[in-house]
Amino acid sequence: MAIIVQKFGGTSLSNAEQIRRAAKRIIERMQAGYQVCVVASARGHQIEDLLRDARELNPNPPKREMDQLLSTGEQQTVSLLAMALDAMGHKAISFTGSQIHMLTDGVYSNAQIKSVDSEFIRRELNEGRIVIVAGYQGVDEYGNITSLGRGGSDTSAVALAAALKAQECEIFADVDGVYTADPAVFKNAALLDEISYDEMIEMASVGSGVMHIRSVAIGKRYNVKIRIRNIANDNPGTIITHEVPQMEGILVSGATIQKDMAKIGMAGIPNIPGKAAQIFARLAEAKVVIDDIIQTEISPEKANMSFMVAKQDIEKAKAVASQLKAEHYCDTIMVRDNIALVSVIGVGMRSQFGVAERMFGALAKAKVNIESITTSEIRISCAVGLQDVERALEAVCLAFDLDRPARQRTQVAK
Amino acid sequence: MAIIVQKFGGTSLSNAEQIRRAAKRIIERMQAGYQVCVVASARGHQIEDLLRDARELNPNPPKREMDQLLSTGEQQTVSLLAMALDAMGHKAISFTGSQIHMLTDGVYSNAQIKSVDSEFIRRELNEGRIVIVAGYQGVDEYGNITSLGRGGSDTSAVALAAALKAQECEIFADVDGVYTADPAVFKNAALLDEISYDEMIEMASVGSGVMHIRSVAIGKRYNVKIRIRNIANDNPGTIITHEVPQMEGILVSGATIQKDMAKIGMAGIPNIPGKAAQIFARLAEAKVVIDDIIQTEISPEKANMSFMVAKQDIEKAKAVASQLKAEHYCDTIMVRDNIALVSVIGVGMRSQFGVAERMFGALAKAKVNIESITTSEIRISCAVGLQDVERALEAVCLAFDLDRPARQRTQVAK
């Protein structure tokens, strides 16, 4: 019997009515002949309430205790969902991450999954039960409760789908799927029928909030077909899958923006092997996540370097940079706030030319000044001023026909 | 290093201020040189909220899922308490029932403790940590979360104190300890310095709400010194301990009332060996808890029987009795609602006479009609009309000097 994994987020489970709606989506799949394993997040606002309770007692609570506290949010949802299914006449059983042996490392608040006991879940499924698993959480080898960090419930769902060799992993959202761009910014954005793992990973890394990079990466690694669909309707949604040949015909699949970035520049770094590595090691020690490193040699003795950091890391990055300057790792530091990134993503870039040219042309025509440019194999990102970013996105979307479904685009021919 | 187990109930932990107050009580003991293991209940109102959420989805939720749901209440409290202690500069670590291997049978909502991993807790205590354990909950051999039922957190605390061979198990309450009678009814009730396990068990069985019978019974079995004290002051409270010789000099240690009872009578039961056993087996099957059975032979062929049941079991008991009548287990059934019990308890009864006489005399003088009488070795209970019970308690208390501390009483000499 084929297995389907379904994941419901917290905003889809915030009250009894929504829990019953989720239960109906589960029953539909049961009745279509699948075994169903469900992953659920904490109910909307539960986590905020618990965070407030914790901060009231301790402004900097121990991470182990935070995970112990917050994991109750999902535990409540899964038992309530099981009760709702029972009331509708279906056998369901709920489990915490610990109960299904979702084994992780011991990094509280950001743990990595090591293994999951799929046989345990299979036995329950084979008893005819709907299995409901608390997302976002696991347990380390000593029995401590851990949480998987951002996007955690998606990660739980995709990992379970991989372990159970599920036919599909359905991620229910409050949107119809993945769009070519954020419809809140570019209102003519088109819905994508499918997108490759690599594109989705790149999109997530530069601002798309639909799915977290980590869960997509696990999906790619274990070949899990992920479907993002709307909880409120029956639309088929967007499938995230392996690249198929026709995807290459499409130059750009989507565009994103990422606001609230800052650019940190360090000028006059001694051109000695290992200096850059030491700088990045220090930033990593301070847990600063850096993006888009640009290094240029300005003389045989000196080099300049700049990198982007997200809002929450700006202060940490500045502090590390100042310390490095004091230790003569560089001559001067430059910080530029209010930077944003506009990016285009597409596996078609690998085999087609002219993407950068068309992007820069569109930005120039829209009078958007480009601060710096970085690229990956399937992405081009331009740093622009925060005040220009929405205009920049629209210009780029129109340049690549992102207001039309993939099949109707004329990107290459243009 | 001596170990103290401290238990804080939900009404003592309902907000940040109360949690910090509990933390201070813990730190006091730490600083007095003890290792401290704490048991905490769910925060006030959390359980009611969760019950409401559950009932909204399912009027009769599966018990396993109820335990899974409600256990989050204690889990939240213990992590918050650990955070509060951390903020005050003390190392603390919280555990669920599952994490300390509080192994129970699989009877959801009313599980019995089978064993607890005291070595696990000892290791943490020896690391200098305050160990905070979620009360009320355990785990069965398959990893399912169970709850211990009424008085569950007291039971957890006493069981842990036994397993850890703690010097004392402190149960924090919002009263100063155990009184000779409920001060809300008999306002001159005196506080008891100490009371024997057997007396406390009898008092709990006939209406004293201070501690649940089960936790006291475990205390007796494993010789745990239990101290009930007020969270709001430093008074020494009441110690529940083994009977000591001077307790025998006190005729009556306390008096209780139990409202909302009903008396079920079955008349004309065939006087055949085994009939009564069959009747009680059927009541037990329906999970009716019965008290104060009175059986009288009315002829060589027939007997009458009556028993008391508490409010929540009245409907079930009536249904079983009707069914038994239909099966000719008896000729008629009589149900008398609005019955209450007034009881006096004291280990001194074992060696002294005249208790019953003095009790009946006091009730007669107060013009309280006695419906029936039952006794144990250290208790006499009279069933009276609900409307008379408070007057009855006062009369009995005055007859046994229960308005004075034990040492000042003149019960025997009277």
Classify residue A191: in a domain, yes or no. Answer: no
Among B68, B75, B98, select the one facing A79 at the smallest CB separation: B68
Mean pLDDT of A382-408: 91
Classify residue A125: in a domain, yes or no. Answer: yes
CA distances from B295 to A87, B271, B302, B306, B381 (A): 43, 11, 11, 6, 16
On whether both B278 and B161 belong to a single domain, the answer is: no
Top-ranked range on mean pLDDT: pick from A127-141, A370-384, B231-245, B333-347: A127-141
Tallying the residues shown for chain A, one arrives at: 414
Residue ending a domain, choose from B155, B173, B191: B173
pLDDT, tens digit only, all 414 positions of chain B: 899 999 999 989 999 999 999 999 999 999 999 999 999 999 978 999 999 999 999 999 999 999 999 999 999 999 999 999 999 999 999 999 999 999 999 999 999 999 999 999 999 999 999 999 999 999 999 999 999 987 889 999 999 999 999 999 999 998 999 999 999 999 999 999 999 999 999 998 887 878 888 899 999 999 999 999 999 999 999 999 998 777 777 889 999 999 989 999 999 998 888 888 889 899 988 888 887 788 887 888 888 988 889 888 889 999 999 999 999 999 999 998 899 999 999 988 888 778 899 999 999 999 999 988 888 889 999 999 999 999 999 999 999 999 988 777 765 544
Classify residue A141: in a domain, yes or no. Answer: yes
On whether both B165 and B311 belong to a single domain, the answer is: no
Classify residue B183: in a domain, yes or no. Answer: no
On whether both A169 and A265 belong to a single domain, the answer is: no
d(CA A240, CA A224): 9
Q: Which CATH number fits the domain that encloses residue B366?
A: 3.30.2130.10
Structural domain containing residue A293: 255-408
Residue ending a domain, choose from A173, A204, A225: A173
Classify residue A218: in a domain, yes or no. Answer: no
Reported as type and span, the H/E element at residue A364 is helix A355-365
Decide if A94 and B58 are in contact by the 8 Å CB cutoff: no
Decide if A69 and B61 are in contact by the 8 Å CB cutoff: no
pLDDT at A411 (0 to 100): 54
Give tens-digit pLDDT for A73-107: 999 999 999 999 999 999 999 999 999 999 999 99
On whether both A167 and A261 belong to a single domain, the answer is: no
pLDDT at B297 (0 to 100): 78
Say how many domains are in chain B: 2
Contacts 24+ apart (CB under 8 A), A372-377: A372/A263, A372/A292, A372/A294, A372/A306, A374/A291, A374/A292, A374/A293, A374/A294, A376/A202, A377/A349, A377/A350
The answer to whether residue B13 neighbours chain A at the CB level (below 8 Å) is no
pLDDT at B308 (0 to 100): 87
Give tens-digit pLDDT for A198-209: 999 999 888 787
Taking the model in full, what pTM does it have?
A: 0.86
On whether both A144 and A48 belong to a single domain, the answer is: yes
- Residue B154 phi/psi, 5-degree rounding, is -60, -40
On whether both B157 and B304 belong to a single domain, the answer is: no
Question: Of A401, A414, A395, which is closest to residue A346 (Cα–Cα)?
Answer: A401
pLDDT at B414 (0 to 100): 41
Classify residue B221: in a domain, yes or no. Answer: no
Classify residue B345: in a domain, yes or no. Answer: yes
Angle between helical axes of B46-57 and A63-87 (0-180°, round to 10): 30
On whether both B153 and B268 belong to a single domain, the answer is: no
**CA distance to partner chain B, nearest, from residue A19 (Å):** 8
Is residue B14 packed enough to be buried (19+ CB in 10 Å), middle (13-18) or exposed (0-12)?
middle
On whether both B261 and B369 belong to a single domain, the answer is: yes
On whether both A148 and A293 belong to a single domain, the answer is: no
Q: Which CATH number fits the domain that encloses residue A132?
A: 3.40.1160.10
Q: Residues of B with CB below 8 A from A82's CB?
A: 62, 65, 68
d(CA A42, CA B184): 42
Decide if B75 and A76 are in contact by the 8 Å CB cutoff: no
pLDDT at B212 (0 to 100): 86
The answer to whether residue A69 neighbours chain B at the CB level (below 8 Å) is yes
Percent of chain A at pLDDT above 70? Answer: 98
Among A56, A71, A84, select the one facing B58 at the smallest CB separation: A84
CA distances from A408 to A178, A187, A244, A402 (A): 17, 18, 18, 10
Decide if B83 and A94 are in contact by the 8 Å CB cutoff: no
Among A16, A54, A99, select the one facing B80 at the smallest CB separation: A54
ipTM for the complex shown: 0.85
**CA distance to partner chain A, nearest, from residue B333 (Å):** 36
Classify residue B240: in a domain, yes or no. Answer: no
